[in-house]
A and B are shown apart, each in its own frame.
Chain A
Amino acid sequence: MELIGLVNYALFMGIFIGIYALLALGLNVQWGFAGLFNAGIAGFFAVGAYTSAILTSAHADGRIGGFDMPFFVGWLAAMVAAAAIAWPIGKICLRFRSDYLAIATIGIAEIIRLVIKSEEALTNSARGITGLPRPGGDLPYVESQAAYLAIVIGVLAVTYLLVERQFNSPWGRMMRAIRDNELAARAMGKDIEYRRLEAFIFGAAIMGLAGAMFAHFNRSITPEAIDPMVATFLVWIMLILGGSGNNRGAILGAAVVWIIWSVSEIATDQLPHEYAVKAKYIRLFLIGLLLQLVLRFRSEGLLPEPLRGDQSKTGSGQ
């Protein structure tokens, strides 16, 4: 492969890692901070992607939307929309153990998938919404990819700093207290359900933002753009492998898992067609197995959650 091809591939991969790292950060807020099991990540992702697509695409007949707004309005709206979906679900399910939330988020992701497939007036069903503006999209190809990567890294850095700040603040301490000992936290007078709802909505908003960034990167969004189950599961394995409760771990996990995932795809695509199709499922099997192995042998992940509480941060590791 020529150098320029490699550069292009690296840029492409960088953008995807950035978007998945955002999703993993969002999940870290929910699972790492608050111990909330979200099995419908792809649903919040899709809500973000479509919200931004509807607001920023050019006007089209027979479809609501096409407001031609600038991309950042779409991105903000994506966060708001994902948060708005998270609110009622959290409100109903966060009173119970996280198992119920897991089931309900599977359900909401399924409903969102149905809505996207069948509400033609909103999402243009199978054809999807195309022609989204892409920041830096007028530049030549390589420069435009690089510009988008820079934007993704910028958004990721800002999100990381915000989440990290939140994590180290009294709010983060309280969330960990609720996660680790709900009864004790309740006895201290913390409003557990409300605080969990905050974490759930905060995480969902980040996921919505990631969805919007994905849609604008592709300049389009269709129901087939991502496989919901695979995307949700990849984010989970990224966070668990990287280290739940550790934001750097979430980003590292996103990079490691995405590199394994996409390089193995290139490798299996070299196979003859009939094997290549099966190889996709073998890869899925192996990624499932990887999760089992991490849970069993290194459940704290590559970068464990840092121990806090004393001034010296030497306590990390265990």
Chain B
Amino acid sequence: MGILELLNFYVIPGIVLGSIYALGAVGITLVFAILRYAHLAHGDLATLGAFIAFAVVTAIGVSPLVALPVAVVATAFIAVGIDKVFYEHLRDRPKIITVIASLGIALMVRAVVQVIWGVDSESYVRGISRPDVYFGLRIRDREIYTVLAMILLVGGLYVFLKQSKWGKAMRAMSDNPNLALLSGIDNRVVVMLTWIIAGGLCAASGVFLGINTELKSMMGWHMLLPMFAAAILGGVGRVEGAVLGGLIVGIAEELSVLVLPSEYKAAMAFVILLIMLLVRPTGLLRGKVL
């Protein structure tokens, strides 16, 4: 097999899939680091975001990229709402209780999608998109958009966390919550910002998964494991780590087809997760271990 074939059929799809995972994994890593629990409803929130964009696309016939901001804002609102209604009052209880609650939320969000949009596969646009050839590399437009959008969104978030006052507050809460609270950081704002960012990025990952594959009510749930593997691989709390982790998991899943039967593609994320927990639980970029 030539190098071009390897790139075209495995590495490029892997990078695209990895960018989609990265968008979700950034949210997971932030929730894990700042709120300190594993949010199991993350995948299903992505499904909801994807279907909100689908509703916009079918209602006014715009391209999914135009519907993306709508879905991002709507899902960010929903994420904040879920936190206010279901998670907030559990904050003083052991964190694992919130993890249980989030498993229930995952089921509820998915049920909403299944009731409104049904369980059949949908897609944003009909027809086949042909890849363009650049120096022998076959790349589709949508694949370029996906990777670019991921870089822009995560890059923006990175600058926000490093430069802005509230970004610093979020990092402070992640590093040392007691010290952060003592120095007068408003926890409610930090929590709300975390959910706005996590929910918005979640929706983006769902929309891009829908653009590159198809929309299904279980699409998000199946992304949950790769997203967690990416967050832990990169190091919990590290935004750039989540991106790195997402890309590695995505490429590993696509490359696994070379050695494993393709049914077991989804198992790669799990293997990566276990190996990281075994060998280096802090992740590649030295994150937290809860």
Give residues in A with beta carbon < 8 Å to B: 35, 37, 39, 92-93, 95-100, 102-104, 106-108, 110-111, 114, 117-118, 229, 233, 236-237, 240, 278, 281-282, 284-285, 287-289, 291-292, 295-296, 299
Tell me, in angstroms, the Cα distance from A259 to B21 when the chains sit together. Answer: 40
Task: Sort chain B's interface into a size bin.
Answer: 35 or more
Cross-chain contact B107 with A39 (CB below 8 angstroms): no
Binary interface encoding of chain B residues 103-116 relative to chain A, with 1 for a CB under 8 A from any of its CBs, else 0: 11101101110110
Are A284 and B107 in touch, CB under 8 angstroms?
A: yes
With both chains docked as a complex, state the minimum distance between the C-beta of A110 and any C-beta of chain B, in angstroms. 6
Q: Is B151 an interface residue (CB 8 A)?
A: no
Contact of B290 among A99, A229, A288 (CB under 8 A): A99
Contacting chain A: which of B72-80, B243-251, B266-274?
B266-274
Residues of B with Cβ closer than 8 Å to A?
Answer: 32, 37-38, 40, 86, 89-90, 93, 95-97, 99-101, 103-105, 107-108, 110-112, 114-115, 221-222, 224-225, 228, 232, 261, 263-264, 266-267, 269-270, 273-274, 277-278, 281, 289-290
Contact flag A92-B264 (CB < 8 Å), given A39-B103, A291-B100: no
7 sampled A-B residue pairs with Cβ under 8 A: A93-B277, A96-B277, A111-B267, A285-B111, A291-B101, A295-B101, A295-B104
State whether A103 touches B228 (Cβ < 8 A). yes
- With A106-B225, A107-B270 known as contacts, the answer to whether A291 contacts B111 (CB < 8 A) is no
CB <8 Å contact, A98 and B96: yes
Which chain B residue lies CB-closest to A291? B104
Asked whether, in the complex, the Cβ of B100 is within 8 Å of the Cβ of A37, the reply is yes
Q: How far is the CA of A37 from the CA of B93 in the complex (A)?
A: 15
Q: Determine the distance from Cα of A254 to Cα of B124 in the docked complex, in whole angstroms.
A: 42
Q: How far is the CB of A273 from chain B (nearest CB, A)?
A: 13
Give 17 new A-B contacts, CB below 8 A, not counting A97-B290, A110-B266: A98-B96, A99-B32, A100-B38, A103-B38, A103-B273, A104-B273, A106-B40, A107-B225, A107-B274, A110-B225, A110-B267, A118-B261, A278-B114, A282-B115, A285-B108, A288-B104, A289-B108
B263 touches A117 (CB 8 A): yes
